[in-house]
Amino acid sequence: MSGITTHVLDTARGRPAAGIAVSLAWQTGDGWTELASGRTDADGRVADLLPARVQDAAGTYRLRFDVGAYFAAQGAAPLFPYVDVVFDIRDAGRYHVPLLVSPFGYTTYRGS
């Protein structure tokens, strides 16, 4: 299992958010380098986001969730076109970053 995973829950519908495009980027200087991308599965999860080629995972990362397209497909006009979650990895281990989302708000935390 990857050191970085995510899980997206649609709090407006009370179910996992399937089909959301998610990308993982690593901060390099003043910019970002995309490392991986994928879509949430039927359970709202994306696994294996941190590529095996990344030997030292310490650094600043950004998970970008394309929630605008997800809610637009349901006929909603969301406030946020995407959600960026920026976080630091300072030690080895698993980082699970869930996103709870609705058309007008979101929250996140370090999960287990």
Pairwise pLDDT comparison (64 vs 29), residue with the higher score: 64
Res 1: pLDDT:
38
Q: What is the pLDDT of residues 46-104, one digit of tens each?
A: 987 877 666 667 889 999 999 999 999 999 999 999 999 999 988 877 889 999 999 99
Q: Is the pTM of this model over 0.85?
A: yes
**Which uninterrupted H or E stretch holds 70?**
helix 67-72
Set out the domains of the chain in order of their start, with CATH numbers: 4-108 (2.60.40.180)
Place of tokens 């599965």: 41
Torsions phi, psi for 49 (to 5 deg):
-80, -30
